[in-house]
Amino acid sequence: MAATAQDPSAPLRAEKKDEDRDEDMEYSPFYGIEKGAVLQEARIFNDPHIDPRRCQQVITKLLYLLCQGETFTKKEASEVFFSVTKLYQSKDANLRRMVYLVIKDVCPGSDEVIIITSSLMKDMNSKTDLYRSNAIRVLCSIIDSQLLGQIERYLKQAVVDKSAVVASAVLVSAMHLLGSNSEIVRRWTNEIQEAIQSKHAMVQFHAVALLHALRANDRLAVSKLVSSLTRGAVRSPLAQCLLVRYVAQVIAESAATGGIEARPFYSFLESCLRHKAEMVIFEAARAVCAMRDVSTRELAPAVTVLQLFLSSSKPVLRFAAVRTLNKVAMTHPLAVTNCNIDMESLISDQNRSIATLAITTLLKTGSESSVERLLKQIGSFMSDIADEFKIVVVEAIRALCLKFPQKYRALMNFLSNVLREDGGFEYKRAIVDSILILIREIPDAKESGLSHLCEFIEDCEFTYLSTQILHLLGREGPRTKEPARYIRYIYNRIILENATVRAAAVASLARFGALVAELRPRILVLLSRALYDNDDEVRDRATLYLAELGGKAGGVEAVDVQWDLPARNLEKSLRSYLENGGEGPFSLAAVPRALPPAPKKEQKKAQSAFGAALKPEVAANGDLGAVVQSMPQFKGLGPLFKSSEPAKLTEEETEYSIAVVKHVFARHLLLQFNCTNTVEEQVLEDVSVTVDLAQAEEFEEEAVVPLERMPHGAVGHTFTLLRRPEGSMALGKLVNILRFKVKEIDPSTGETEEEGYEDEYTLEDLNVAPGDYIRAAPVPNFRAAWEALGEEAELGDDYGLGERENLQEAVEAVVGILGMAPCDGTDAVPPNARSHTVLLAGTLIGDAQALVRLSFGIDAARSVAMKLVVRSDSPDVSQAIHQIIQDA
């Protein structure tokens, strides 16, 4: 230590070591770039003498910013766009390809498109295939329907072009055009059919995908298409894989609906298992293994093919095969048993992902006699794999132990050994949870399991796991044969650990003292040492338990009590005890066990919007099922899609207070009117709401459930059921009139008069908006969900939101209109931000998922621009989202 401190060269060596570490570290070439700086660099596009290499670098930075979610304002996008168009004078082929990309991504709007259209159309007729294909892609991305009609003839011819890159470009562009110009694409059916016969594999692949997309909404048409393609027209391995997926989809739909005969399609999958292309063979095997209610006999040929892949020299084939067999082993373990020998050879595979999948599959399919051998093989590579793979292995071992309880000793020892090795919290928690489950499910494993856990907490660095184990020791330890053996481990925690663990250890020791009489004197001595602890929680627990254990009964009831006292009751009793002077000791026996009835306000918040104001016998259940069962008019409505928040239809302090809740179903809109009579001298009877549908023509009144009696101060409910086309987003304005019979109350006697008179009361109009048909449905991983939906039904457009105070106001306005759920906390805009991206997720009526990416930008004049990009299950859904913003 002294020599090191006096060595003058030590700081120099440390500094040189840091420099070497910095040199070894790899940095992204885009690290730290800013939009403003890149826009300044983009001015080189206007130079008289263009430097192609330098321009390519700047365009790459622009594209990088766009891919990272950066947004350009209308002005910025226009400047970049007009500058880029000047690069057309360069003859450099690589620069021209970059220009195509940046035009497609930065194109600011329809007004500027005309500037570049003539150049793109010239490129579309070029002799260079590279220019032709890229020009087609860009044109189809930026032009509108009117201009598309003018170049349709060129696009139609390009579908059957001899050049593969040109034909593929127009086929892929056609798939993007389906969302907004499906009628134009449908006119190309003959050319697409011809493209399926192409000798180029990629063209055939895209043609099959496009033909399927054209018929995706017609189940019978898809079945006919797939049936015709399975007769040998498809030769490309890529297209064949696509066809296998379509066949599997048809088989699944036919099994669910009991429609067409699926046997010919299954025969096609069997024939694909003998295909010469490995990707087709695997795709067919995976499709067979994923079929619902597949039998062992049907699985046999697929498993045989996958078994051959296990011995392949290609790691990707081995990984694909073992992963598929791992899934099969969950439902049909006997079908995979024949592959065990081949999978055992994969345990030593260099790719640890393959080895992990192999060992977990073996654990699911292995016999009782092979358990020890498998555990020995697992131990050789556990330290070489990541924690997520270790967790998979641990879970498989837990399942194996429950399957073969006689082998608990070997499996428990293995878990104990890996528990002492290095690992993260999730991995250690998985092991501890597995041991706890085995202790609970296998009585013979209790003693060894507790011993292993005691050794683990000696070096445990995770507070949560330590307290969990201490709680288990306090519950199970006193009931073992030798309870004294656990005292040392528990008391060490009081000496060595943090306050949370110390408090848990004190409680665990107290349970031993309460349940084991011969240990009680020693436990009292140990607990007394905790009276001087630095933490008040530890001291209070020790004081309480010492007082209880030192009593005549040994404190068994107090220490070993199962805590069933409601916290609210205990707090109320303690407050009452302190307010009354605290004479005598406080007794837990005086605390009531029964929960007090919730206040009316809390009950109202706890109920759903539908059950918040219903008849007492209905509201008690608080769900829609009670309403359906109690009212025959609602029995055929089906599942509830969404309920709105109550909306007031009357002004404050009027004679009658009416609020409405909209309940949306697949084919109906149910209006629940919550009615309150504020006039003491009147009772209303036969109360109903008449809805005028003159401005909502798609709706049709189907039923009205009136309120029989509406006394003063009580909330009653009347319902109006409106029918609309199934799955449609019917909109309109509903004009509402409250109709009722008034009966006066004699103020002297309080009796209601027998005769009454009819009356009506005009309510506020009610708008049915598009947001009523969208339900907030957040996704845990927006990026993965976005990629899963793909670009088939993607639709984007730019909008101007006018002047706003800040971006937060604009974000809240748009999110409120759409009624979707913000994801990843993107609804919060950083202070003084000039741009921001919001991610939204929701479900439209008909259970169609929609994901939205909103890119906002604000300029110095506080004018906000927004780019809306939607991905969903179908183009119609994406168009509906855009229509909501356009109509707002």
Q: Are residues 523 and 648 in the same domain?
A: no
C-alpha to C-alpha distance for 155 and 141, rounded to whole angstroms: 13
Cα 558 from chain centre:
45
- Residue 311 pLDDT exceeds 80: yes
Q: Are residues 780 and 717 in the same domain?
A: no
Residue 326, pLDDT score = 83
More confident residue, 609 or 478: 478
Quick one: average pLDDT of 158-175?
89
Residue 279, pLDDT score = 92
Residue 12, pLDDT score = 46
- At residue 666, what are phi and psi to the nearest 5 degrees? -60, -40
- Residue 174 pLDDT exceeds 80: yes
Residue 367, pLDDT score = 67
Q: Which range (84-98, 359-373, 532-546) has the least confidence?
A: 359-373
Q: Which range (251-260, 387-396, 791-800, 838-847) has the least confidence?
A: 251-260
The answer to whether position 845 is within a domain reads yes
Residue 623, pLDDT score = 47
At which of 530, 557, 584 does a domain end? 557
Band (878; pLDDT cuts 50, 70, 90): confident
- Residue 870 pLDDT exceeds 50: yes
Residue 26, pLDDT score = 54
CB atoms within 10 A of CB 369: 9
Band (497; pLDDT cuts 50, 70, 90): confident
- Residue 731 pLDDT exceeds 70: yes
Quick one: average pLDDT of 555-575?
66
Q: Report residue 364 as tokens.
A: 């699911």
C-alpha to C-alpha distance for 736 and 691, rounded to whole angstroms: 5
**H-state helical runs in 580-694:** 600-606, 616-619, 624-630
- What percent of the residues of the chain are helix, what percent strand, and what percent coil, each to the nearest 5? 60, 15, 30
Residue 791 Cα distances to 18, 103, 173, 779, angstroms: 46, 19, 11, 18
Residue 615, pLDDT score = 41
CA atoms within 13 A of residue 175's CA, in its CB half-sphere: 20
Quick one: average pLDDT of 544-554?
71
Is this model's pTM higher than 0.75 or not?
A: no
End-to-end CA distance of the chain: 73
Q: Are residues 635 and 717 in the same domain?
A: yes
Residue 282, pLDDT score = 92
Eight-class DSSP state of 751: P
Cβ contact 133:165 at 8 Å: yes
Q: Are residues 622 and 758 in the same domain?
A: yes
Q: Are residues 535 and 503 in the same domain?
A: yes
Residue 10, pLDDT score = 46
The answer to whether position 697 is within a domain reads yes
The answer to whether position 784 is within a domain reads yes
Q: Are residues 488 and 536 in the same domain?
A: yes
Quick one: average pLDDT of 687-705?
86
- Residue 488 pLDDT exceeds 50: yes
Reported as a single tens digit per residue, the pLDDT across 339-369 is 888 887 887 788 878 887 887 787 777 666 6
C-alpha to C-alpha distance for 398 and 403, rounded to whole angstroms: 9
Quick one: average pLDDT of 780-786?
79
Nearest to 407 by CA among 367, 355, 440: 367
Count structural domains, the chain: 3
Q: Which range (358-367, 595-604, 734-743, 766-775) has the least confidence?
A: 595-604
Cβ contact 738:650 at 8 Å: no
Domain extent for 809: 772-887
More confident residue, 17 or 595: 595
In 321-474 the beta strands, taken as DSSP E runs, fall at none
Beta bridge partners of 707: 687
- Residue 25 pLDDT exceeds 60: no
**Residue 794 belongs to domain with CATH number:** 3.30.310.10
The answer to whether position 852 is within a domain reads yes
Residue 380, pLDDT score = 65
Quick one: average pLDDT of 39-49?
86
Fill in the amino acid letter for 519.
Answer: L
Q: Are residues 828 and 759 in the same domain?
A: no
At which of 727, 746, 768 does a domain end? 768
Residue 597, pLDDT score = 57
Reported as a single tens digit per residue, the pLDDT across 612-629 is 334 433 433 334 445 544
Residue 383, pLDDT score = 67
Mean pLDDT, the chain, rounded, equals 80
The answer to whether position 41 is within a domain reads no
Q: Are residues 744 and 849 in the same domain?
A: no
Q: Are residues 672 and 530 in the same domain?
A: no
- Residue 68 pLDDT exceeds 70: yes
Residue 257, pLDDT score = 59
The kind and range of the H/E element at 723 are: strand 715-723
Written as one string, the DSSP assignment of 803-830 is E-S-HHHHHHHHHHHHTPEE-TTTTSPP
- Residue 814 pLDDT exceeds 80: yes
Quick one: average pLDDT of 143-169?
84
With a pLDDT cut of 70, the percent of the chain lying above it is 86
Reported as a single tens digit per residue, the pLDDT across 570-610 is 888 888 888 777 677 777 777 776 666 544 433 333 333 33
Residue 2, pLDDT score = 39
**Residue 701 belongs to domain with CATH number:** 2.60.40.1480
Q: Report residue 267 as tokens.
A: 């025969």
The answer to whether position 343 is within a domain reads no
Q: Are residues 679 and 744 in the same domain?
A: yes
Residue 219, pLDDT score = 79
**CA 476, 478, 481, 487 torsion: positive or negative?**
positive
- At residue 651, what are phi and psi to the nearest 5 degrees? -75, 165
The answer to whether position 517 is within a domain reads yes
Q: Are residues 637 and 550 in the same domain?
A: no
Residue 765, pLDDT score = 87
- Residue 304 pLDDT exceeds 60: yes
Q: Are residues 653 and 699 in the same domain?
A: yes
At which of 557, 584, 608 does a domain end? 557
- Residue 611 pLDDT exceeds 70: no
The answer to whether position 471 is within a domain reads no
Cβ contact 654:666 at 8 Å: no
**Residue 527 belongs to domain with CATH number:** 1.25.10
- Residue 554 pLDDT exceeds 70: no
